[in-house]
Structure 1
Amino acid sequence: MDTLDESVGVVMETLYEENMLENSIVVFCSDNGGTPFGPHSTRSYNWPLRGAKFGLWEGSTRVPAFLWSPLLAKKRRVYKQLMHITDWLPTLYSAAGGNATKLKGSLDGIDMWRHLSFDLPSPRTEMLYNIDPIDKMAGLRQGNDKLVLGTYENGEFDGRYMTTGNPRPHNDLDELTANSTVAQVLRHFYGVDDLQFPPDWREHAIVECGRQGDEGSNFVSGQSPYLFDLAKDPCELYNLASSNPKVKQAFRDESFRARHHLFLVY
């Protein structure tokens, strides 16, 4: 993380020195969840979310992202709306002044710039996680409902893996932030002596599971299909497939399944 901070600082400093910062958009994000163990392990954890890289769980696919730009209409906030990595292309194209509807070809992405800038609800209501006809698994989200069919490597990465080691201290975060290269650049850019942030803005980015651990969870690895209400259960503790047949049946509708090629796996 320290190296990432330094590299972002160098970029911001250069943009400022070249008088380009006022017309810049800075974005960094991850492509997938971390891998706590196994042959591709990076000893990275996705707690409290379920799963690891290669899977379809929220810990496998849901990642944080950061966006800074003076072009944003509303600043300094946490945006919790649904967005897919394919949305970055039309979004950044639109932010740069292009008309995303004029992009050639059939795009999976949606132009999110206006919604990100003005803190509006996301226009994205559906997301395909993956369709894997070889491993016989697929994941799809409509609204807050998420359907998962099958699992990866016989459920080896189906668990929720708590971050190891001692708790990370937070007492020096504000000081480290204030002394960073980025903070120094932004103080010059905004013409202020001190950068002001909402006092509880980090808390807004915390994922709350509703309860600690897996107590009360009815999740059983290898017993597909799974159906989750991500608004109430972002950590995928409660499989609603057996108790909510109406939603499950909607996912199994022939026209719906044909549109998403789910017949390949289920």
Structure 2
Amino acid sequence: MHEMTNLLIVFLWFAINYKIINALKTKPNVVIFLSDDLGWNDIGYHGSRHLSTPNIDSLAADGISLSRYYSQPLCSPSRGALLTGIHPIHSGTQNYVLLGAAPWGLPLRHKLLPQYLKDFGYSTHAIGKWHLGFYRKEYIPISRGFDSHIGFWTAYEDYYNHSMSERGFEGLDFRHNLDVIEDADGKYSTDYYTESAVKLISEHNIHEPLFLYMSYQNVHSANNPYELQAPKELIDKFSYIKDENRRTFAATLYSMDLSIGRIVEEMHNKNILNDSIIVFLSDNGGAISGFMENSASNYPLRGTKGTLWEGGVRVPAFIWSPLLRKSGFVSDSYIQVIDWLPTLLEAIDGKHANNGNKLDGISLWKVLNEEKCQKQNEMLLNIDPIWNMSSIIMNEWKLLQGSVPKDISRDSDQWSQSYETESQVKSERINSIVYKILQKGKRKPNFNIFKETRIDCGIHGKPTNCDLTHEMCLFDIRSDPCEYNNVAKLYPNVVQRLWAKILEYNETAVPPLNLPIDPNANPIYHNNSWSIWVYD
């Protein structure tokens, strides 16, 4: 009996000390820059020459641009998948978004990325948008692994007065942890978040690894469709853009680019940049029509936010880090939002996060480092039983099924016009904060790789009819990335094989958790602020 007790004590001692020693090992800092509703054609390195993103472009040119990165079609499902590594069909977030007054949230049974990182001794911080539930205290960021959070809990808000209006309810939604921030009226949210991030980094204890989840409000509409907001001096920079909404969009995007430049600069000043992993991505495609339009562009891709067309789910993304064995290239490997958690954990610990954890995502760290290993060739995009829509990708094939009307097609090429010359674009990039910092570090951003991110729609005529309200549609997205030619009738066996796979996935799905709004959540009952409203 005594021997068993002694063995148990020894085992516990080794277990505890192993965890402490493991946490004390040097770990890379991790920064995620998450944009909101950014479309494929809304970023400089994808070829847009009427918008300006020189800092983002410089990081992408020195990192790995992910030309076949797939998100979820809407905010909450995408954010939940990013932070859990769990597919929305297994978390109950596969339908629509989380409304501010709805009494539910991302299930507490799922461990979040900051909680994993706390096990490795990380200091974890979230800035910006949450949108994963707050009806009970257990669901807010500081209850789910973050040491601090500055930002808002709901889906969107006014960029200046920080109020959120939804389904007839309106109130202030701007917080530092649990405390309402009441002295920021008139302060542009992106500037507030940038200053908060810079202060956090400047005061950070460099003996602890840092995780910063920078979840921007940009470029989501404010409280109404097309209601984008930006400082006048930034809007004036884009006076050559005649469309007023698109001009403001450009300014909103540019403010995020300036923010990223300033944050990277502070990381450099703090001498932590070279020990960091930076990820940039959008949560879903641009809202060119339908839900909360924002004058984005997914050109030449078909579809919009909220759909499973390429324009709704194929979005800008890249990873940058001196820890990558090779950089300055474009990867056409499939990667999806659920893969980030296991990929980052393997980069940090050298182990597969799936060991002992039931994750849907897979680590692609070795793929990104171009090691010889099996690449991902199958991705379930979503199965939504309420909206009756689903899609899967297998090798070159993509099958779509569902209720999306056939008139949701693609935005025009009006935003593909060039208002700047190639030399002007290059000048902006090499004069950006990020480029200058990379040059100081003897790094060489390769802007020539951006040619490989351009999408060629191939040879096509009039789009083949695809009415998802009546039939499933099949596309070869390697040769037809713009989804012009529905080949379902030519390859019925492929349709059957992919549909059978969707049904197989559906057997493992949990029901959507969406609940109706609760009148008790109305901010008028909570000092005119969006607040926790359910207590035990």
With over 3 angstroms needed to count, the CA separation of the structure-2 counterparts of 1:57 and 1:181, relative to structure 1, is same
Task: Tell me the CA shift for residue 165 of structure 1.
Answer: 5.0
Q: Which structure ranks higher in relative contact order (CA pairs < 8 Å, sequence separation ≥ 6)?
A: 2
Are residue 31 (structure 1) and residue 276 (structure 2) matched?
no
Q: Which residue of 1 aligns with 2:446?
A: 197
Matched, 1:186 2:438: yes
Q: Which residue of 2 aligns with 1:220?
A: 466
Q: Percent identity?
A: 33
Q: Deviations over 1:99-137 (max 9, x none)?
A: 124554311111011111227676211111111111211
Output the amino acid matched with 1:202: F
Residues in 2 aligned to 1:120 and 1:160: alpha-carbon distance in whole angstroms:
37
Q: Secondary structure at the match of 1:202?
A: helix
Does residue 143 in structure 1 map to residue 402 in structure 2?
no
Shift of 1:65: 0.6
User: Which stretch of structure 1 is more off in the superposition, 50-59 or 166-175?
Assistant: 166-175
**Aligned residue type for 1:201:** I
Change (3 A) 1:196 1:61: closer
| Candidates 164, 174, 185, aligned match of 2:414 | 164
* Secondary structure of 1:118's aligned partner: coil
Q: Deviations over 1:131-184 (max 9, x none)?
A: 1111211111111111111132x3452x01124357132421110011101011
Normalising by structure 2, we get a TM-score of 0.45
What are the equivalent positions in structure 2 for 1:13-162 lying under 5 Å apart?
13-101=265-353, 103-118=355-370, 123-152=375-404, 154-157=405-408, 159-162=409-412
Contact kept in structure 2, 1:81 and 1:121, CA below 8 Å: no
> How many pairs were matched up?
254
**How far apart are 1:53 and its partner, in Å?**
0.6
The 3 A distance-change label for structure 1 pair 79 and 165 is closer
1:205 shift after superposition: 0.5
| Conserved 8 A contact 2:288-2:297 | yes
Residue 486 of structure 2 is matched in structure 1 by: 239
**Aligned counterparts of 2:374 and 2:441: Cα–Cα separation in 1:** 30
Query: What one-letter code is carried by the residue in structure 2 that aligns with 1:259?
Result: E
1:4-53 CA-partner distances (Å, limit 9, x unpaired): 22112122111112221111111111111111123410111111111001
Measure how far apart 1:185 and its partner are: 1.1
Larger radius of gyration: 2
Instruction: Give the structure 1 partner of residue 454 of structure 2.
Output: 206
TM superposition shift of 1:232 = 0.9
Q: What amino acid maps onto 1:160 in structure 2?
A: R
Q: d(CA) in 1 for partners of 2:330 and 2:371?
A: 9
The one-letter code sitting in structure 2 at the alignment partner of 1:71 is L
Distance in 2 (CA, whole Å) between partners of 1:144 and 1:217 is: 19
The yes-or-no answer on 1:260 pairing with 2:505 is: yes
SS of alignment partner, residue 96 of structure 1: helix
- What is the match of residue 4 of structure 2? none
CA distance in 2, matches of 1:122, 1:48: 30
Alpha-carbon distance in 2 for matches of 1:257, 1:147: 9
The Cα shift of 1:188 comes to: 1.5
- Do 1:227 and 1:239's aligned partners in 2 also have CA atoms closer than 8 Å? yes
Match of 1:250 in 2: 497
Q: Is the 8 A contact 2:346 2:353 kept in 1?
A: no
- What is the aligned-residue RMSD (CA, Å)? 2.4
CA 1:165/1:99 → structure 2, altered by over 3 Å: closer, same or farther? Answer: closer
Which string of whole-angstrom CA distances, capped at 9 and with x for unpartnered residues, describes residues 55-81 of structure 1? Answer: 111111001112211111111111111
The question of whether the paired residues in 1 share the 8 Å contact of 2:392 and 2:502 is answered with: no
Distance (whole Å) between structure 1 residues aligned to residue 425 and residue 264 of structure 2: 20
CA deviations on 1:198-242 (whole Å, 9 max, x unpaired) are 5x322110011014xx62431333442101111111111111111
Bigger mean CA offset, 164-173 vs 35-44: 164-173
| In 2, Cα distance between equivalents of 1:54 and 1:239 | 21
Aligned twin of 2:107: none
Unaligned segments of structure 2, at least 5 residues: 1-252, 510-536
Stretches of structure 1 lacking an aligned partner (at least 5 in a row)? none
